[in-house]
Amino acid sequence: MQNKSTRALYLIPYGAWILLFVIAPIALVVYYSLFNIHGDLTLANYRAFFSSIYLELTLSSFWYAFLITLFSLLIAYPTAYFLTKTKNKQLWLLLIIIPSWINLLLKTYAFIGIFGQYGPINAFFAAIGIGSTQLLFTDFSFIFVSVYIFIPFMILPIFNAIDRLNPALIDASRDLGASPWTTFRKVILPLTMNGVKSGIQVTFIPALSLFMITRLIAGNKVITLGTAIEQQFLVTQNWGMGSTIAVFLILFMFIIMLFTGQKEKGGASVGKTK
Amino acid sequence: MKEIIRAAVAVIVVSALLLYINSQLGKTSGSTGSDTITVYNWGEYLDPELLDQFTEETGIRVVYETFDSNEAMMTKVQQGGTSYDVAMPSEYMIENMKEEDLLIPLDHSKIPNLKNIDPYFLDLPFDPDNEYSVPYFWGTVGIAFNPDLLEEDFDFTSWEDLWRPELREQIILVDSAREVMGMGLNSLGYSLNSTDESELDAASAKLDELTPNVKAIIGDEIVEMMRRNEAAIALTWSGQALDMMYINESIDFAVPEEGSNLWFDNMIIPKTAANVDGAHQFINFMLDAEVAAQNADWVGYSTPNAAGLELMDPEVTGDERFYPDEEIRERLEVYRNLGPEMTGEYNERFLRFKMGMN
């Protein structure tokens, strides 16, 4: 009994935290989304969301988030795989993670200089005879910078998953005559899928609502739901519509979490019996 | 268990300590009280030396805070957490704040220096008789361009020039719905305060034709881009153009003849004010001829202070690009507060324009 009540006591800070910083903000967003610009209770904002402009915006956000996640994954998986094979893997991992400690805005501003008309890349292009190219404010630069920013978050979970893989399984697969490709497809990939899913979660969801990079690197030629929310709150001061877009963003995130969610296996249930 | 209690106690003690320190700091930098005022202004919009001079003259200490958009400023005033005594919003925001009852009327007997202001800038439609506001700076919206980067000679006396096919991927626009929509409306000869659906449709269609020439739509980064020759043409405010010219001397600035925006930033006393008397003293101080001249020198925008103008370098004040004469000013329009629906419509059209860029 004593044990139970102290355990409940421990839960208070977490409960209060979740109530204050998770449930209350979401409830407020939903609450605000029900009011129009004059403060009347209405569902008009939701109707407005289904007008062409916001649906188009949603599609384009998803498309770019998909591209960013895809390229991050394509680069991160092999990187994580080879990292586990290196001698000082923790050190290498650290070197890859360190750039993510630098403020996002600083990194983005650095890219403005790097991609600039007189930046190092164009200087290199000019030197090898391609001539100066417009790099900044293009789809390419937007995807490149976003992928660069998200890669550490993609590598980390995949690295952990591959690192935990029992090498005996791979040996067994080889002994039984599987080609390296079959081994990868039938053994390594399924066993590291959880890492890939976490990686996709932490990349795709924030990529949906990027707005600062769309302005600084893509020059607002790429528009995401984040841009629309920012505009509704700061310029139009239509908090209702801004909240409505945010509600849909939360819904999308929830759906993505469902799809990429981890099935509870081994580890989790061990924790429960204790 | 003991450790957890100890940790919890430590957290509480530290928090209490921080709270105490914070309250002490609050006292010393106090935004309340009769010997301090809190000024809320745009960034880089006041010579900091003048704040010291004000304190020396009056004994009132100034707490200085900055904002980066009218809307952000209004939200803070509405929430009322800080007792701002003086703020510098733009004209349409003053109309808006008046409607929301967020302003304290000015006592003109406490602002004798009001006589220094050019009468042209007094008693404007957004605030008749200057009941709530005093002009601080003014300027225009126009085209900053760098002839060195353009193959042909352009003078941009017409908005139409921006649509010329040779300017592919050359133009940077400021990320602001009113300015961009206003350009579309002005280029067709309509008012930039238009609320007529067919005029707005025409302006949107006209803007869509501009997309091949648009390089980017960004914020304050425009200045850096133009300074470093990254772009040849920018739709921007006169003061930003001047900022570009300080570093990159090839840049020129033009206000197209079809008309454009004339704007005013003004000093007001918001409802949050705790030291109304100090706020009046501050406004009066800023209107002093010498102070206004020094401030205009430092900030670079155009001052409405006629007495101050006479103390400034005639080369600056004679520059038609930044001090256009009355004939040119007649062609310019001041933004009216369009109300929440129309503001929403302008922004939605602007969002659609941005989406059409890709």
The pLDDT of B166-193, averaged and rounded, is: 93
Minimal Cβ distance to A234: which of B69, B354, B358: B69
* Structural domains of chain A, with CATH: 52-261 (1.10.3720.10)
Query: Is B340 in Cβ contact with A38 (below 8 Å)?
Result: yes
For A139-179, the DSSP string reads HHHHHHHHHHHHHHHHHHHHHHHHHHS-HHHHHHHHHTT--
Q: Which chain B residue is nearest to residue A214, measuring alpha carbons?
A: B218
B271-329 per-position pLDDT tens digit: 999 999 999 999 999 999 999 999 998 888 999 999 999 999 898 888 888 898 888 88
Give domain B31-138+264-326's CATH architecture. 3-Layer(aba) Sandwich (3.40)
Minimal Cβ distance to A221: which of B219, B224, B357: B357
Residues of chain A neighbouring B340 (CB-CB closer than 8 A) = 37-38, 236-238
To the nearest whole Å, the CA of A215 is away from the closest chain B CA by: 6
- Measure the CA–CA gap between B210 and B353, rounded to whole angstroms: 10
pLDDT at position B139 over 80: yes
Higher-pLDDT residue of A63, A210: A63
Using alpha carbons, list the distances in angstroms from residue A3 to A8, A11, A225, B6, B222: 9, 13, 48, 19, 63
Q: Determine the residue among A11, A137, A141, A213 to mutate to test chain B binding: the one whose Cβ has the most chain B Cβ atoms within 10 Å.
A: A137
Q: Cite the residue boundaries of each domain of chain B with CATH code 3.40.190.10.
A: 31-138+264-326, 139-262+333-355
> Domain B139-262+333-355 class?
alpha beta
Higher-pLDDT residue of B33, B176: B176
Could you tell me the maximum CA-CA distance found in chain B, to the nearest angstrom? 81
- Tell me the pLDDT of chain B averaged across its residues: 90
Per 3-state DSSP, chain B is made up of helix, strand and coil in percentages (nearest 5) of 50, 15, 35
Q: For the full predicted model, state whether its pTM sits above 0.90.
A: no
To the nearest whole Å, the CA of A76 is away from the closest chain B CA by: 28
B4-23 per-position pLDDT tens digit: 777 777 777 777 787 777 66
What pLDDT, on a 0 to 100 scale, did the predictor assign at position B188? 95
What pLDDT, on a 0 to 100 scale, did the predictor assign at position A14? 92
Q: Which chain B residue is nearest to residue A49, measuring alpha carbons?
A: B348
Query: Is A136 in Cβ contact with B218 (below 8 Å)?
Result: no
The pLDDT of A185-213, averaged and rounded, is: 91
What pLDDT, on a 0 to 100 scale, did the predictor assign at position B198? 96
Residues of chain A neighbouring B220 (CB-CB closer than 8 A) = none
The C-alpha angle with vertex B118 and arms to B112 and B120, in degrees rounded to 5, equals: 125
Higher-pLDDT residue of B235, B240: B235
Minimal Cβ distance to B218: which of A53, A216, A223: A216
